[in-house]
Amino acid sequence: MDIRTHPSIDRALCGEPTQLSPGVAEVLLTTTSAMAADAQGLVHGGFVFGALDYAAMLAVNDPLVVLGSASVRFLAPVRVGDAVRCHAEVCETKGKKRVVRVVARVESRDVVSGELVAFVLDKHLLE
């Protein structure tokens, strides 16, 4: 896998890339007790969203890609110990804009789905 973006990301928090091809990426997030929002083991949705965001950035796979917006629906809970498979696919490219469809699944159950809009910039966002 030739990963060209987000080289310093913490994969324990955002997932491990398992698939990468032009315009498509998959990340596997193994949830841990550090991600729990309560004593019952509900995983905070921000961790799942982070893995989806990472998958989308990998699908674009440009060193200067950034997230512009997101429209997602949380469909089912994620529990500590769940393996969350996040799939992202670029479905539209217009200039610097990339529209990426995303879905997160636990086994065969969709837990989050939606669309992220990313932009490939001319220079680093912080420059």
Examine the pLDDT at 75 and tell me if it is beyond 80: yes
Average pLDDT, the chain: 97
For the entire predicted model, the pTM comes to 0.96
Domains identified in the chain and CATH numbers = 11-120 (3.10.129.10)
Answer yes or no: is pLDDT of 1 > 80.
no
What does each C-alpha distance from 58 to 8, 46, 80, 104, 124 come to in angstroms? 13, 18, 25, 15, 17
- The model's pLDDT over 42-68, given as tens digits with 9 standing for 90+, comes to 999 999 999 999 999 999 999 999 999
> What's the pLDDT score for residue 12?
95
pLDDT of 105 > 90? The answer is yes
